[in-house]
Amino acid sequence: MKNNISIRKISKNDIPEVSALLAALHRTHREFRPDIYIETDKPFAEADLIREIDNPDRIILIAECESGVAGFCMVINKTPQNPLCFNRKIAFIEAIFVREDMRRLGIGGKLYAAALEKAKNEGSDSIELMVSYLNKTALRFYERMGMQIKSSVMETRL
């Protein structure tokens, strides 16, 4: 059943399915910003994913259902170095992505909640991410998760 979802840490056996999801995520990014994102069907090499799985500062969670990997969440722990600011540990979400046929089932929320819990357990002060203002669906999702806008990145194209 589609609603029987478990959240777990990624394993090397998940790489083929996660690679396909990363390619779909990259296509989404490219739709929003074709001036930035190159056209490729393989945004991550297998060796890069293995390195990320083994990185102790990286959290990669998988949402698994009967039909396989339904989604993933990639988080990197950061400790910004700024002599004018207090030391902080930030869990930075690089991506949450759910397979198109599995959307609207609460999987993204489960991935976010699991990432939030893991970040708390690892001593993070906050969980942060960047999202394009063009991606209204993602913006609404993150607002429903309780996130608030902290700052905006602005751009002038030259």
* pLDDT per residue as tens digits for the range 80-104: 889 998 899 999 999 999 999 999 9
Instruction: Name the nearest CA neighbour of 46 among 77, 73, 18, 10.
Output: 18
Mind listing the domains of the chain with CATH numbers?
6-144 (3.40.630.30)
Cα(18)–Cα(12) distance, rounded to whole angstroms?
10
DSSP state of 141: H
Q: Say what the pLDDT of residue 1 is.
A: 41
Residue whose pair of structure tokens reads 């357990």 in the numeric block: 121
Q: Say what the pLDDT of residue 89 is.
A: 94
For residue 122, name the pLDDT band (cuts at 50, 70, 90): very high
For residue 3, name the pLDDT band (cuts at 50, 70, 90): low
Q: Say what the pLDDT of residue 65 is.
A: 92
pTM above 0.85, yes or no: yes
| pLDDT, tens only, 13-65 | 999 999 999 999 999 888 889 898 888 888 888 888 899 999 999 999 999 99
| pLDDT, tens only, 142-151 | 999 999 999 8
Residue ranges of alpha helices (H) inside the chain are 15-32, 46-54, 107-121, 136-144
